[in-house]
């Protein structure tokens, strides 16, 4: 079986060697730029690790695995545009390096390329993989719509937030796990359990992303710390802070949320201090740990030898110890 580091090298080599020979080249330059920025390649690695549970030739599904990475980066490209984010992985976002229209059009082409790359899978599994991918893509759009709608609401609950991040983030990790199992001819029960494993890991991973946006190191995290705070983004951190704050703390939070003109660093420092005083950092970690522990139950239920699960277990554990 291959390690996650070996799979990362294989994925990066494949993505680096993809030709972009169609014209106009200006349409494809941002696509190559985005994929060349690197990243953890979590989705293709999870898909290949899932496949590798059953079969020893994960390179056979490389195109389909990289289809998910292409799709994921397409969503990031458009997310950055919608969020007006200046940086992605420490580099300029596409709409900043080029312009808004270029980000839209090149992103649309990335989505088409994702389907093209996915369609290169084994023909006997093509229908199932396309159905799973299409359903996943629709759910991710639904999650993004909920995320945008939450910006105009002050009554978002933790339960609503968890469902939003399940749709926006978790289902693609779940899709990667299940698709790898399908392509490896796994049983339906195993494929479904691997889907749930990926879903729970995805929830923990997104909650960790929220945490790092407040408590991470900008140089390591690859994007500006405190962006969620300055934009009043409805995260687990902010929603829980309002739920757990005393009257004085709640009024201070409301004051910062309501300010139109403010010093960015002052707001980040003030809200972070409130989070610390309320104990949000501890509660966020506890929530992450809960979903991580839940994920283990579904992996335990997968009916294969435990030694074949070791690399996947190690990779999931490493995901939860990241600083970026």
Structure tokens at 247: 């009257």
One digit per residue, pLDDT tens: the chain, 324 residues? Answer: 899 999 999 999 999 999 999 999 999 999 999 999 988 999 999 999 999 999 999 999 999 999 999 999 999 999 999 988 888 888 999 999 999 999 999 999 999 999 999 999 999 999 999 999 999 999 999 999 999 999 888 899 999 999 999 999 999 999 999 999 999 999 999 999 999 999 999 999 999 999 999 998 766 665 678 989 998 999 999 999 999 999 999 999 999 999 999 999 999 999 999 999 999 999 999 999 999 999 999 999 999 999 999 999 999 999 988 654
Concatenated DSSP letters of 232-291: T---HHHHHHHHH--HHHHHHHHHHHH-SS--HHHHHHHHHHHHHHHTHHHHHHHHHHHH
CATH number of 4-319: 1.10.600.10
Among 44, 42, 85, residue whose Cα is nearest residue 65: 44
CA end-to-end span of the chain, whole Å?
A: 27
């Amino acid at each position: 079986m291959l390690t996650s580091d070996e799979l990362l090298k294989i994925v990066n080599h494949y993505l680096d060697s993809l030709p972009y020979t169609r014209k106009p080249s200006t349409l494809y330059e941002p696509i190559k730029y985005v994929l060349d920025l690197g990243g953890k390649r979590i989705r293709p690695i999870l898909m290949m690790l899932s496949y590798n549970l059953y079969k020893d030739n994960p390179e056979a599904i490389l195109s389909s695995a990289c289809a998910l990475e292409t799709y994921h980066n397409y969503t990031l490209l458009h997310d950055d545009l919608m969020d007006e984010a200046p940086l992605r992985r420490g580099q300029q976002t596409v709409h900043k390096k080029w312009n808004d229209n270029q980000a839209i059009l090149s992103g649309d082409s990335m989505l088409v390329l994702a389907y093209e790359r996915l369609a290169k899978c084994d023909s006997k599994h093509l229908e199932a993989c396309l159905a799973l991918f299409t359903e996943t893509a629709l759910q991710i759009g639904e999650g993004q719509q909920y995320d945008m709608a939450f910006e105009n609401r002050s009554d978002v609950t933790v339960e609503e937030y968890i469902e939003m991040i399940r749709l926006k983030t978790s289902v693609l990790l779940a899709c990667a796990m299940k698709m790898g199992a399908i392509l490896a001819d796994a049983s339906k029960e195993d494929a479904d359990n691997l889907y749930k494993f990926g879903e729970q890991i995805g929830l923990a991973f997104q909650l960790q992303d929220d945490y790092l946006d407040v408590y991470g190191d900008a140089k390591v995290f690859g994007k500006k710390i405190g962006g969620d705070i300055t934009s009043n983004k409805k995260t687990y951190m902010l929603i829980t802070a309002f739920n757990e704050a005393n009257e004085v703390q709640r009024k201070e939070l409301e004051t910062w949320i309501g300010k139109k003109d403010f010093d960015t660093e002052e707001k980040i420092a003030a809200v972070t201090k409130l989070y610390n005083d309320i104990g949000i950092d501890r509660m966020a970690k506890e929530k992450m740990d809960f979903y991580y522990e839940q994920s283990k139950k579904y992996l335990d239920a997968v009916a294969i030898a435990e030694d074949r699960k070791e690399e996947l277990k190690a990779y999931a554990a490493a995901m939860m110890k990241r600083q970026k």
